[in-house]
Amino acid sequence: MAPNQLNSDGTERTIGQLVADATHDVSTIVRSEIALAKAEIAADAKRAGAGAGMFGAAAFVALLGLIFLFHTIVAVIDIWLPEWAGYLITTGLLFLVAAVLALLGRSSMKKIKGKPERTIKNAQDTVTAVKSAS
């Protein structure tokens, strides 16, 4: 007889005690799997937040580019280049920054897995272990 099937006084454990232990063990496993799933989803949520922040930054920089585009109409630069060329270069650079930020945001969003892969694997391993034990 296995040692875990005996009480501390050496008597055989009842079916009720064994079922209670099994229920407790299953409950512990389920709680652990839920905690792991929460941790994985929280990590993906942080990535989603960072990606959304990059898209927001790209929109803000694009707005600044639009302001400079309108400013090119009224401002006068005539030191080295005609006024339109200086402001066109400034506007182009701001839109380039917006494009880089948008690409960074897209890259961050692509890293989101969308499902708790480790939790799924652990659950499958648990099911396999339980099946092989019976």
Dihedral sign for Cα 51, 53, 59, 62, please.
Answer: negative
More confident residue, 6 or 105: 105
Tell me the angle at which helices 117-133 and 15-74 cross, rounded to the nearest 10 degrees: 170
Dihedral sign for Cα 88, 90, 94, 99, please.
Answer: positive
More confident residue, 132 or 56: 56
Q: 61 falls in which pLDDT band (50, 70, 90)?
A: very high
Answer yes or no: is pLDDT of 33 > 80: yes
- Per domain, the residue ranges of the chain are 10-121
Q: What are 73-126's pLDDT values in tens digits?
A: 556 556 787 877 877 877 788 789 899 999 999 888 888 877 777 877 887 888
Answer yes or no: is pLDDT of 131 > 80: no
> What is the per-residue pLDDT for 134?
64
Distance CA 110, CA 48 (A): 9
> What is the per-residue pLDDT for 58?
92
